[in-house]
Amino acid sequence: MNQILRQVLSGLLLILLQVFLANQMVLYDLATPYIFLLFLLFFPLEYPKPVQYLTGFMVGLMVDWLSLQGPIGLHAFCGTFLMWVREPLLGVIGSSSSAHRGTGEIKLNDQQGVWYLTYFLPLILIYLALHVFLEAMSFAPFWLLFGKLLASSLYTLVVCLVLTFIFYRR
**Residue-wise pLDDT tens digits, 110-130:** 666 777 778 888 998 899 888
Verdict on whether the full-model pTM lies above 0.85: no
d(CA 72, CA 63): 9
**Residue-wise pLDDT tens digits, 2-34:** 777 888 888 888 888 888 887 777 778 778 888
> Taking Cα atoms as reference points, which of 56, 62, 52, 53 lies closest to residue 17?
62
CB of 120 closer than 8 Å to CB of 41: yes
66-124-74 Cα angle (round to 5): 35
**Residue-wise pLDDT tens digits, 31-45:** 888 888 888 988 888
Please tell me which residue, 143 or 74, carries the higher pLDDT value. Answer: 74
Q: Chain-wide mean pLDDT for the chain? A: 79
